[in-house]
Amino acid sequence: MTIQTIDRLLMALIAVTLIASVIIAVTAPDYFHLTFAAEDRLVENGTALFLLVASIVLFRNALSLRQRGLWLATGLTALYALLFFFAAGEEISWGQRIFGWEASDFFAENNYQGETNLHNLMVGDHRLARTLFGSILTTVLLLYLVVLPLAYPRVALIRRLADALAVPVPGLRHAALALLASLVIAAVDVPRKWEVYELIFAIITTSIFLLPVNRCKTR
């Protein structure tokens, strides 16, 4: 199976996920947030899986860059891979519920859900997930997914910077899907809808890392 075929399958999966999410949210809202998008269920586990796949793709890209002697790009790509591996682990609380081990005293006292992860830590009266991992991260992701694909071919400075930092640049199809997903998820009025948004992001990034616009610089 070619990379192009895998990419098309990922695009189709995003469309199916969005359509299914809307149908379930409208016809069975309780099922949506109690089962479909609940902890340790289909959506959350799918997000963790695709974050892990994205990490593996980045590690493979790093190895390819290393063989070409592009050491800076290799190091940066490996760093990106580690970040996505970290995100995958965070999504499932590093296997705490899967393997049934207890959180340490620190996480039991300072984590909003009493789990072994950083994104649910409490900083005073504020949840880290709502500040750093909420609006700030969402803004950064939208800039990456929507603004960068438009600016990369038009602004030489941004193009040089993205290539120098080995940043996989999304294509216009990724930008369109990110915008569509943002509008669809925002329009749905059901608890835990943003879990679906995270899944869509994980699938989109997997596609980007497989076939970035600047793949000759990042793969």
pLDDT value of position 93: 76
Between these two residues, 156 and 115, which has the higher pLDDT value?
156
pLDDT value of position 132: 58
pLDDT value of position 21: 96
Q: What is the average per-residue pLDDT within 157-170? A: 94
pLDDT value of position 140: 85
Amino acid at residue number 101: W
Q: What is the average per-residue pLDDT within 20-32? A: 95
d(CA 211, CA 7): 8
pLDDT at residue 63 greater than cutoff 80: yes
d(CA 76, CA 74): 6
Q: What is the average per-residue pLDDT within 58-74? A: 93
Q: What is the average per-residue pLDDT within 40-57? A: 94
Q: What is the average per-residue pLDDT within 70-90? A: 93
Q: What is the average per-residue pLDDT within 42-69? A: 94
pLDDT value of position 129: 63
Helix (H) or strand (E) holding 193: helix 193-210
pLDDT at residue 181 greater than cutoff 60: yes
How many CA atoms lie less than 13 Å away from 14 in the CB half-sphere?
28
pLDDT at residue 99 greater than cutoff 80: no
Question: E strands, the chain, where?
Answer: 122-123, 126-127
Between these two residues, 120 and 10, which has the higher pLDDT value?
10
Amino acid at residue number 112: Y
Amino acid at residue number 133: F
**Minimum mean pLDDT range among 22-31, 74-83, 130-139:** 130-139
Domain boundaries, the chain: 3-100+133-218
